Amino acid sequence: MASLSVKPGQRFTLPDWQNNSRLISANAEQQRFNSHHIRQEGRVLRNDTGNQAKWDEHNSRTSLKDRITTVDKWREALAKCLADIDLEIDALSKVKEAAENAIQAKNLCLDVAIECLTFRESRRDIDVVRDPVEEELHKEVKVIEKTKKDLQQRVDDAFRQLCLLKEARQQLSCDHRHKVEALELDRQCVSFNPTSGNISFKVNPTRIPDGTTALQEWELNSRRNKERADTELKASVDLRGAITLTIAQTLEEIAEMEEEIRQLEENIKKRTLDLKVAHTRLETRTYRPHIELCRDQAQFGLTDEVQQLEGIIRALQQKRTESQDALDALYRQLHRIQTDIGYKTNSLQLDNKCMDTRRKLVVPVEKFDPEVDAVSRTRNLPRESQLELA
């Protein structure tokens, strides 16, 4: 007879099998839930990190652009300052050369005055007197020497100022060159994007390089260089003004004052027309209907414009009055000068007549010609025999 074979090992009951199936199904469900949760977290993380990366890149790009704008403004200011310094160096060099030429020109005047004093030292006996001529010659020598000394001092000041200007220019040029290089690098950084071919990982890119400065120190250095250049420019301009300072002629000053008054009156007319426009605009806006009649920004702007224009016109009118007073003073001074010239001309004529009259003491009456003698008296000096009176 055939026998039934029994598989060795533990045999499970049906409930065990069912529990195992349910357990496997529950585990699978849990794993699917965990997987779904992880996928959702990954999606959120991808979105968050993507947005964060885009915002960070946007902020970095914006910061770079702002920095480029700031550095470019400083670059333009330094470039303008460099141009001003170059012009000032050229102008001061020319003024210094003119002062040196003036010193050379004064040498001839000084030599002539000293030569005249030397000649007069050859006078003999009672004629060796300290007369007004000698006093004027000594005074002339002192004035020329003082003028030369002042000019030489100005030349020395100009030389020192030129050295200071060139030193300031050197610092400005170095700062300007560094800012140009920094601008090129920052603009290159702005141009980088994920598709650029020259991007790569770098070793420790967040390190702080040696020589790194704080933003406040950078601003202080840029401002200090520019302020020093401005100070040297101002000092140079003041020095040039002192060197080239001359007294303007009265008639030229009158012409300039008249032109100033004319320009002031023309400016007053223009500002008056602007004021009329502002008044008309304000008056026209008073006819706006109902709720539209509000004090908006345009209304405030027009009101401020009217107040500003009225203040400008008052200032211009005040300046015109002051200019007219100055012009009247110049005319009075001119009249005084002309009157004084008339007095002196009359005195000179009287002194010439006196000289002609005294010539009768040394020139025979029949040979005396007042008109001819008045012209030639400086050439025909009296001889010793003519000075002897009977």
Q: For the segment 48-60, what is each residue's pLDDT rounded down to a tens digit?
A: 888 888 888 888 8
Q: Examine the pLDDT at 214 and tell me if it is beyond 70.
A: yes
What pLDDT band is residue 321 in, cutting at 50, 70 and 90? confident
**What six digits make up the tokens of 270?**
């223009």
pTM of the model: 0.49
Please say if the pLDDT value at position 30 is more than 50: yes
Query: For residue 47, what are the contacts with CB-CB under 8 A and spacing of at least 6?
Result: none
pLDDT score at 76: 93
**Residues with Cβ within 8 Å of residue 380, at least 6 apart in sequence:** 373
Instruction: Check whether 100 has a pLDDT greater than 70.
Output: yes
pLDDT at 220 (0 to 100): 85
Q: Which pLDDT value is given to residue 364?
A: 47
Confidence check: pLDDT of 361 > 50? no
Amino acid at 204: N
pLDDT (tens digit per residue) in 242-283: 766 643 344 465 566 567 667 767 877 877 887 787 777 767
Does 186 or 328 have the greater pLDDT score?
186
**Separation in Å, CA 158 to CA 63, 88, 104:** 45, 11, 17
User: What is the overall mean pLDDT for the chain?
Assistant: 75
pLDDT score, position 389: 30
Question: 300 is written with which tokens?
Answer: 């405030």
